[in-house]
Amino acid sequence: MRLVQLTDCHLQADPAARARAGFPLRQLEAVVEAVNRERPELVLVTGDVSDDETAASYRLAEQALARLDAPWFWLPGNHDQPALMAECRALHDELDLGHWRALLLDTHVSGRPGGELGEAALVTLDERLAADDRPTLLVMHHPPLPVGSAWLDEIGLADGEAFWRVVAPHPQVRAVFFGHVHQAFHGARALGDGEVPAYGCPATTDQFLPGSSTFALDEASRPGYRLIELRDGTLETWVERVDP
């Protein structure tokens, strides 16, 4: 099964609005065209769909993402308004992928750039993992481990350590995929005798400079998306870039 992750569209109510280094709607449309050429069976949109938190920005996103030739599902990031997202298109917390499944985790905290799952959501995650031993992907907006950029690490998943404690007894978790960092990233968390890989994804709009201690754009990198190939209990993933 082939999946695609795209993230951090940062659309505004004005379709002609400009970001720091480009035009978000045009860039998203270019990414959608490229993703269709990959022929995925499903697309995951991992948050910060909006930049200005308006209903109009979600309508623009829905119109652009409706051009995908595959079913798509979104979850909220720190710039989003989950209620407005849900009014535009339903939010899901689990996807049945046949021999696999994906759990979509909401790390949005109103008024904060950083994320958190919270005690109740962590208890629920533990129960959901205990109830099904199929190979599982965990998908969220905020990174649950450091990515090597000090300013981003300050606004990652606040209860990341508690998250990994929940994941540790469940070996069916094969990988974590997140947005927020506007860059390709591959890390891993050692758990017991193995490790769980964690992957960040380029934004469909501006890219952030890896390894930066303070906010900085990576003007040499283009928008992109992540491909995920699921096989018999294993996966392969890589990043593709788009010339907007």
Confidence of residue 28 (pLDDT cuts 50, 70, 90): very high
Q: Which of 45, 4, 26, 10 is nearest to 208 (CA)?
A: 10
User: What span, in angstroms and rounded, lies between the C-alpha atoms of 238 and 225?
Assistant: 9
- The answer to whether residue 244 scores a pLDDT higher than 80 is no
Count Cα atoms within 13 angstroms, Cβ side, for 130. Answer: 8
In whole angstroms, what is the distance from residue 139 CA to residue 143 CA? 10
With beta carbons less than 8 A apart as the criterion, state whether 153 and 147 touch.
Answer: yes
pLDDT at 233: 87
Give the model confidence (pLDDT) of 186-227 as tens digits: 999 999 889 999 999 999 999 999 999 999 999 999 999 999
**Angle, CA 110 vertex, CA 119 and CA 62 arms, to 5°:** 110
CB under 8 Å to 53, separation ≥6 — which residues? 79, 80, 81, 84
Task: Give the mean model confidence (pLDDT) for residues 75-88.
Answer: 97
Instruction: Give 109: exposed, middle or buried? Use CB within 10 Å, 0-12, 13-18, 19+.
Output: middle
Our CA dihedral for 214, 216, 221, 222, rounded to 10 degrees, sits at: 120
What confidence score (pLDDT) does residue 149 get? 97
Pairing of β 194-200 and β 173-178: parallel
Q: Is the dihedral of CA 212, 157, 6, 188 positive or negative?
A: positive
Mean pLDDT along residues 1-22? 96
Question: pLDDT tens digits, residue range 51-72?
Answer: 999 999 999 999 999 999 999 9
What is the residue-averaged pLDDT of the chain? Answer: 97
Note the pLDDT of residue 192: 84
pLDDT at 193: 83
What domains lie within the chain, and their CATH numbers?
2-241 (3.60.21.10)
Report the pLDDT value the prediction gives residue 63, as an integer from 0 to 100: 97
pLDDT digits (tens, 9 = 90+) for 106-157: 999 999 999 999 999 999 999 999 999 999 999 999 999 999 999 999 999 9
Q: Which helix (H) or strand (E) holds 145?
A: none
pLDDT at 39: 98
